[in-house]
């Protein structure tokens, strides 16, 4: 049995992958020592993403970069886990000879056994089918907030997406397991619910359980101070969920809804279930019921057969929807997806031009939205100090970690990180706001 090895982990990709990494860290901690400095690691584990070609390139770069540490006399073994081996293990196992073991997205529980095997000289390829979670214990890598992955996989089969082929069909985690996992985290200022489609939670259960059921159970925990919703597909944002957002004091008045486009023909080609008009109606309904709600979304441009008119329809939608924030991506042709086989692929230069246009349009919307916030006071959780700007920074309810802007603020008194302060907004610069502590 191999024990007390120094292990460093590199986690790539989304926050759902981060949760997988945190569960893997808890397993490793049972027998080994975790180190934050990769140069000190005797074992390096790279937990990969493979959603897009760009993420696969990043993963391979990180793996090759990590392999170089085998020359420093400290690193002994290199392990690759997650989405990349789950979908592409046949190709990468042959090419990446520096790697001692490969594990898939549901194989983390076997990590200790795999480490024993590779120290016996065996090269391990242990990639099973996507299945349940590998445990409830975690080593948190975030401060003041925590992600809770409430489901894995996806059954929507959007024509551009590899997720169903990597992580399998949609699988909700039982409520009892999620409660136990949340309680194990201790006190959490902000619990962020994530899944490929968070709002679809419970649809694969026989019982009458849905996202609202789960939210009510989590809200009853004294250790959970607030709950934020990410990745809610619009067709699953029900009246019941809207009412819960409106009435539940622990639910942050914020929702992330990946819309992906607003032209009906493009949405149909994507195998998305909505329409541009329907999306606008949903946004109006949300704002009518919850006037101060912050709505965020993501969009893809350059999808096959996205005509100039279809693109203009998306531009018009952004100008009308006035979303608090939005992310934009160029369509990536992923082999094995239905969209990759479509005629009418868009040239790279056109994609780039359209992407820049979308960011420009949304930037004007953000500037407009920000003007309305100047002079108002918000609760802001302090997270750090910017040594260049000589100001503190944190997040208000309209700022999700990493994907939205920050609130920078001046304070004459000392600031304790993780504490909430009342900040009056005095200036807006792009996606960030500046204020003063009251």
What's the pLDDT at 389?
Answer: 86
Residues 158 and 109 in one domain: no
Boundary (domain end) residue, out of 370, 392, 407: 370
CA pair distance 410, 433, nearest whole angstrom = 12
Residues 20 and 162 in one domain: no
- CATH number of 388's domain: 2.40.50.140
Residues 270 and 365 in one domain: yes
pTM metric for this prediction: 0.95
Secondary structure of 85-138 as H, E, C letters: HHHHHHHHHHHCCCCCEEECCCCHHHHHHHHHHHCCCCCEEECCCCCCCCCCCC
Residues 14 and 42 in one domain: yes
Domain that holds residue 338: 145-370
Digit-by-digit pLDDT tens for the chain (438 residues) are 999 999 999 999 999 999 999 999 999 999 999 999 999 999 999 999 998 999 999 999 999 999 999 988 899 999 999 999 999 999 999 999 999 999 999 999 999 999 999 999 999 999 999 988 888 999 999 988 999 999 999 999 999 999 999 999 999 999 999 999 999 999 999 999 999 999 999 999 988 999 999 999 999 999 999 999 999 999 999 999 999 999 999 999 999 999 999 999 999 999 999 999 999 999 999 999 999 999 999 999 999 999 999 999 999 999 999 999 999 999 999 999 999 999 999 999 999 999 999 999 999 999 999 999 999 999 999 999 999 989 999 999 999 999 999 999 999 888 999 899 999 999 998 889 999 999
Residues 256 and 353 in one domain: yes
Residues 85 and 206 in one domain: no
Boundary (domain end) residue, out of 370, 395, 419: 370
Boundary (domain end) residue, out of 75, 99, 126: 126
Q: Is 386 inside any structural domain?
A: yes
Q: Is 135 inside any structural domain?
A: no
Residues 301 and 175 in one domain: yes
Angle between helices 276-289 and 239-247 (to 10 degrees): 30
What's the pLDDT at 188?
Answer: 94
- Which run of H or E residues covers position 300? strand 294-301
- CATH number of 182's domain: 3.80.30.20
What's the pLDDT at 430?
Answer: 81
Residues 308 and 173 in one domain: yes
Q: Is 132 inside any structural domain?
A: no
Contact 86, 127 (CB under 8 A): yes
C-alpha distances out from residue 378 to 152, 374, 395, 411, 423, Å: 34, 11, 10, 15, 5
Supply the DSSP symbol for 210.
-
Q: Is 136 inside any structural domain?
A: no
CA pair distance 45, 28, nearest whole angstrom = 11
Q: Is 207 inside any structural domain?
A: yes
- CATH number of 98's domain: 3.40.50.12160
Q: Is 89 inside any structural domain?
A: yes
Residues 10 and 47 in one domain: yes
DSSP line for 4-43: --EEEEEE-S-HHHHHHHHHHHHHHHTTSEE-S-GGG-SE
Secondary structure of 301-358 as H, E, C letters: ECCCCCCHHHHHHHHHHHHHHCCCEEEEEECCCCCCCCHHHCCCCCCHHHHHHHHHHH
Residues 366 and 382 in one domain: no
Backbone angles phi, psi at 338, to 5 degrees: -65, -35
Residues 114 and 262 in one domain: no
Domains identified in the chain, total number: 3
Residues 238 and 347 in one domain: yes
């Amino acid at each position: 049995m191999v024990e007390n090895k120094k292990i460093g982990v590199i986690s790539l990709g989304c926050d759902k992958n981060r949760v997988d990494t945190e569960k893997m860290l808890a397993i490793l901690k049972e027998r080994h020592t975790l180190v934050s400095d990769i140069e000190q690691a005797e074992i390096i584990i790279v937990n990969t993403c493979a959603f897009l070609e760009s993420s696969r390139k990043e993963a391979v770069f990180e793996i090759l970069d990590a392999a170089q540490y085998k020359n420093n006399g400290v690193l002994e073994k290199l392990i690759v886990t997650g989405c990349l081996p789950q979908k592409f293990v046949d190709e990468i196992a042959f090419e990446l000879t520096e790697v001692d073991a490969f594990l898939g997205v549901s194989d983390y529980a076997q990590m200790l056994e795999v480490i024993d095997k590779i120290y016996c000289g065996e090269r391990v390829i242990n990639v099973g089918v996507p299945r349940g979670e590998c445990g409830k214990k975690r080593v948190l890598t975030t401060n003041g907030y925590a992600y809770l992955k409430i489901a894995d996989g996806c059954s929507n089969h959007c024509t551009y997406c590899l997720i169903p082929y990597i992580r399998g069909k949609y699988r909700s985690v039982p409520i009892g397991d999620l409660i136990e996992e949340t309680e194990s985290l201790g006190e959490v200022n902000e619990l962020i619910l994530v899944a490929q489609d968070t709002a679809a939670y419970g649809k694969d259960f026989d019982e009458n359980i849905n996202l609202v059921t789960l939210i009510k159970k989590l809200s009853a925990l004294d250790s959970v101070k607030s709950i934020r919703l990410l990745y809610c597909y619009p067709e699953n944002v029900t009246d019941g969920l809207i009412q819960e957002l409106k009435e539940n004091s622990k639910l942050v008045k914020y929702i992330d809804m990946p819309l992906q486009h607003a032209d009906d023909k493009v949405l149909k080609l994507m195998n998305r279930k909505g329409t541009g008009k329907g999306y606008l109606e949903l946004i109006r309904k949300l704002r009518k019921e919850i006037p101060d709600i912050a709505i965020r979304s993501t969009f893809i441009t350059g999808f096959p057969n996205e005509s100039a008119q279809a693109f203009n329809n998306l531009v018009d939608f952004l100008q009308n929807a006035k979303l608090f924030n939005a992310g934009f991506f160029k369509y990536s042709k992923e082999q094995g997806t239905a969209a990759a086989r479509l005629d009418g692929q868009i040239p790279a230069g056109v994609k780039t031009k359209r992407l820049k246009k979308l960011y420009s349009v949304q930037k004007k919307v953000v500037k407009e939205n920000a003007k309305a916030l100047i002079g108002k006071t918000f609760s802001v959780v302090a997270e750090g100090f910017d040594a260049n700007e000589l100001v503190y920074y944190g997040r208000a309810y309209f700022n999700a970690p990493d994907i939205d802007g920050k609130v920078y603020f001046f304070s004459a008194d000392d600031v304790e990180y993780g504490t909430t302060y009342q900040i009056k907004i005095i200036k807006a610069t792009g996606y960030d706001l500046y204020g003063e502590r009251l």
